[in-house]
A and B are shown apart, each in its own frame.
Chain A
Amino acid sequence: MTRRATITGLAAIALAVAASPAPLAQAQAATVLAQEWAPSKVSHFGGMTAWSRLDPETGQYRLVIHDGHREHVPLIETRSVPFDVDLGRDRLGDVVATYSRCEREPRLREGAPPMPVWATGEGCDIFLYSLKRGSARAETKISGASTGAASEFLPSIWRSEVAFSRVYERRDGRRGTVPYLYARPLESSSPSERQPGGSRGATGLPGPTALDLYGRRLGFAWAYEQEGGHERSEIRLDTVGGGHRVVAWVEDSANTDFAELTPSMDRGDIFWGTDCRGPLCGSDPQSAFVSRAPLERESRKGRIAFLDGGHRLVSVSRDEGVAALVQAAGYSVVDGQVRCRSAQDAQRSTAPGCQITLRDDLEYGPPRG
């Protein structure tokens, strides 16, 4: 799965636009944006939603943007793994997409969600793609953050700042494999400022699985292998130039897998997803929920929105009260690739089984008994 990204013939086609049935200026309770073959990270910001689309014929992923009215497929190079896309606003206030590109793509993680272990990519740099209407619509490498001596990935932009993760792949031994977090001005020669990350654990991997920069706040998901081989995943919150704390954590056990997913910040709260499979999930042996906690208080009294249907949760992203979700009934491996299973497709993925939805009806309540 770590194949070099290639330009497909599709890149030569003019901007692909697929009209959606109805405008989404105001999100419905649950609006399905798309059904996809494979899981990917979603980012929702400024009325835009971005995710990745697998072409099962070529095995390549394309970046997809939904602007609230219709879907756009930017004319940019494909990847052989999903994009680590994050939407944000640049210093002019325009919505931009940021993501990485790698000389050698990261490997997929074995557990759920089956997303890339981003830190295992090689020669990665980070790019910016403007979604401003009428702009040149070409991706540009973010210089300063992107370096030839290291690998950068998982970018997140907020106005004139960008946060990202970096592996110094030319260093010897473990120092050349473990990821670090940084924040820096987008257009300046100022040095990048290192931010506190999570524990290294036994291997130093996977490390960061998602970043979201929100003003001076850097929220991120971080996972590491504990003694005994069980993985612990955390939602952490750094203040650039300030303190840091663990907002939430879960641990795998012998029979249950947990994962904390893709934090995003909105209206003074931090939101993240939790995916679980096993007898200790609580209400179902397969369950998922979105949690909310205040940014300003060190409180564990978060509120939870349980997602119906026993579906797996791949990614969640929230902005202006609307949450974008990527969900599937489960996963299958078909021809060496991870596919999403639908509820009707219990054994193999014979139809696109990952659903991209917008929800503005999630009700947050206390944890359950």
Chain B
Amino acid sequence: MMKRSKRLLGVGLLALAALAVGSAVASAHLLYQNGQFAHQHTSVHWFLNEANSAPDSYSNTRAAQIDWHNKTRRDLSSTSNHDTSYIHVVDRHYGETGWVGIGEYCYHCGHLHTRLNLTYSAGNSQTVACQEIGHNLGEDHHAGDCMGYSYFSDWSPFVGSHSVQDLDSAYASYGH
């Protein structure tokens, strides 16, 4: 679990670094308290949804995208431009890899990937998309919302207050 945390922290820090460098609307002077300015977006994480290999993948990924967009100060506006996208979601049959979804930094393409594994598809694709987008934003696993899926008995398909507070606190500390 420690290694995983480090990896997630690494992805999160990469995300934050990318924000610091590339966000056109980031406001470096703003330091918010947790959740104080929820819904007031301060930076855009252009979101490319190419989860279209299964009937429900696109719509469930879209639902997860909107959930993060609406509940946190992260702006996950949609884009169709691969080169400028910040989070790129794809789905396919990856085989019995041990994971239903994975959030990773793609070094050669310079943005974050969310991969949804259709081999294990079991009707929770919105939850999985929600969790992997959360990883892309720097969240680790925790109980109470989609970040707890497959790790804790207490989970839901949606973004919860724990994640909102985590993100607002983390990004605020970086001045975004």
Contacts and interface: CB of A to CB of B under 8 A. Distances in A.
A300 interface: yes
Contacts of B168: none
A369 B96 contact: no
A75 interface: no
Interface stretch (B15-23, B65-73, B79-87, B100-108): B100-108
A260 B122 contact: no
Interface string A297-310: 00011101010001
A300 B119 contact: yes
A285 B115 CA distance: 16
Contact of A282 (B97, B122, B131, B141): B97
Nearest to B117: A367
B119 to A, nearest CB: 6
A366 B150 CA distance: 6
Contacts of A248: 95-96
Contacts of B29: none
Contacts of A369: 99-102, 127-128, 131-132, 141, 149-151
B55 interface: no
A283 interface: yes
A310 B122 CA distance: 27
Given A368-B150, A369-B150, A276 B97 contact: yes
Contacts of B32: none
A304 B99 CA distance: 10
* Interface size class of chain A, counting residues whose CB lies under 8 Å from the partner chain: 20 to 34
Given A284-B3, A366-B150, A367-B150, A276 B120 contact: no
A367 B100 contact: yes
Nearest to B8: A283
A280 B97 CA distance: 8
A112 interface: no
Contacts of B7: 284-285
B4 to A, nearest CB: 5
Which of A276, A279, A310 is packed against the most chain B CB atoms within 10 Å?
A279
A368 B95 contact: no
A78 interface: no
A367 B150 CA distance: 7
B3 A368 contact: no
A280 B104 contact: yes
Given A280-B104, A367-B120, A274 B99 contact: no
Interface in A240-285: 248-251, 258, 260, 274, 276, 279-285
A289 interface: yes
Contacts of B94: 250-251, 280
Contacts of B128: 369
Interface string B120-152: 101000011001100000000100000001110
Interface of B: 3-4, 7, 94-102, 104, 115, 117, 119-120, 122, 127-128, 131-132, 141, 149-151
23 contacts: A249-B96, A250-B95, A274-B96, A276-B98, A282-B98, A283-B98, A284-B3, A284-B7, A291-B96, A300-B119, A306-B98, A366-B100, A366-B120, A367-B96, A367-B97, A367-B98, A368-B99, A368-B151, A369-B127, A369-B132, A369-B141, A369-B149, A369-B151
